[in-house]
Amino acid sequence: MTSAYQQLSARFLRLSRFGHLAAIAGWDMQTMMPGGGSRARGEALAELSVLRHEILTDKSVGSLLAAAEQESLNDVEQANLYEMRRAWQQATLLPASLVEAKSIAGSRCEHAWRQQRPANDWQGFATNLKEVVRLSREEAQLRAQANGGSRYDALLDLYEPGMTSATLDNLFGELKSWLPELLQKVVARQAHQPVTQPVGPFAVESQRQLGLSLMKLLGFDFNHGRLDVSAHPFCGGVPEDVRITTRYNQNEFLSAMMGVIHETGHARYEQNLPQQWAGQPVALARSVAVHESQSLFMEMQLGRSREFLEHILPQVVTFMGDQSALQRDNFIRLTQQVKPGLIRVDADELSYPAHVILRYEIERLLIEGEIEVEDIPALWDEKMQQSLGLDTRGNYRDGCMQDIHWTDGAFGYFPTYTLGAMYAAQLFQAMKRALPDISTLIRQGELQPLFDWMQQNIWQHGSRFPTAQLFRHATGEALNPHWFRQHLEQRYLAD
């Protein structure tokens, strides 16, 4: 006789397979699909969302979960059952009509954004965004009523289980207490360290080949993934078929290069999740912030370190051409340059948290109903002036329209970027304790010991443990922002 747990496992395997199709169709929509396919694709994805919702919320699932609780399960099965129940509880809070409406509104808003952003068309964008916000507030209200807490916390919990805005306020408040002064010190220090900018053009194909070469160095499995182009870099697909994207600018190559390194961090995590549990919730990445810790570990802790930059410099010269700007010391200054700018995805690691905190503060007010969509541009400019001293008035494309996250209602996602940066710094500190010769390994391009450590401590566990427990196992303590501050001070102020 098939046990309740086995029946649930079969149901979640089916959900995973439909999720696979949705992931690849979503990737195609952002990379390959002709513009005329937007409406039909959005409707198809919405239909798939409804189907998955119906499978998950079928009335039999609750009974199976209750029955499985009484069965004899091992530790991994118990962890999987916990994740199953969490997914079921989250899904049963929403009617299928809301799931479908939110999917369609998100697809419409995202697709229109591709043309509206280059055109600086805030009014057109705002029209679509209002519907996304309306539906997101409706979702947040339903979740908050069931789980307690605020509407924003209910959405935040979808991306970072257990995290609350109160905890974020403490973490970000501490960050804001020392980051502006550190930023000023570093900018003043670097003013006396002139940097020569590389002179283009840099052919797109040469940039692509450089990216592929770096992906190989970082252990990307090309038999289970690929690199493409999109308007906004991302990592998608499924562990067996990971899709990463970047975007190219022929006038400069560092953005694409670092974008590829960043997305490869996401991809390595996906490709190394526990295959023995594939198709089950416990085999998924632990959380969005943990996911981001992997990309930021790869880009910031490893990718922008002096040792790594020295190792890859010959490859950079091979593909980008030999010029004075690519002499060793100048190249390192280029990639460690701190220069506050308007664009989050191009921001240095000192400025980046300011971009995240700005978005967090705005989206929380938006979901809680304390501001409306029309209020976003003025508030954005006010906070950008306060945090980075930059003016975005009238420049919507490089201001409040630059990101893709709000187009599909991903409110609660932005804080995970800076949480991920904190986790990445903490992981690297623990890795340095475990690998005393880590600097030499990186300089020589012998990166497998680093990846073995990450496999042992993060990748292989999937969602088996709560985030705090996972990091206590890996680093000896739960999240401690001290390591992030120490990392920044050592990299940018140490002689």
Q: Which residues are catalytic?
A: 263
The conformation of residue 401, written as its DSSP 8-state character, comes to T
What is the rounded distance in angstroms from the CA atom of residue 68 to the CA atom of residue 78? 9
Pairing between β-strand 225-229 and β-strand 241-246 as defined by DSSP bridges: parallel
How is residue 346 written in tokens? Answer: 């191009």
CA distance 297 to 156: 23
Q: Decide: 422 and 479 in contact? Cβ < 8 Å.
A: yes
Residues β-bridged to residue 241: 238
CA 19 – CA 49 distance, rounded (Å): 9
Q: Measured between alpha carbons, how far is 316 from 97 in angstroms, rounded to an integer?
A: 51
Write down the residue that tokens 């182009």 correspond to.
Answer: 229
Q: Output the CA angle 243-296-109, nearest 5 degrees.
A: 55
- Contacts of 70-76 with CB under 8 Å at 24 or more apart are 71/3, 71/4, 71/5, 73/5, 75/464, 76/277, 76/282, 76/464
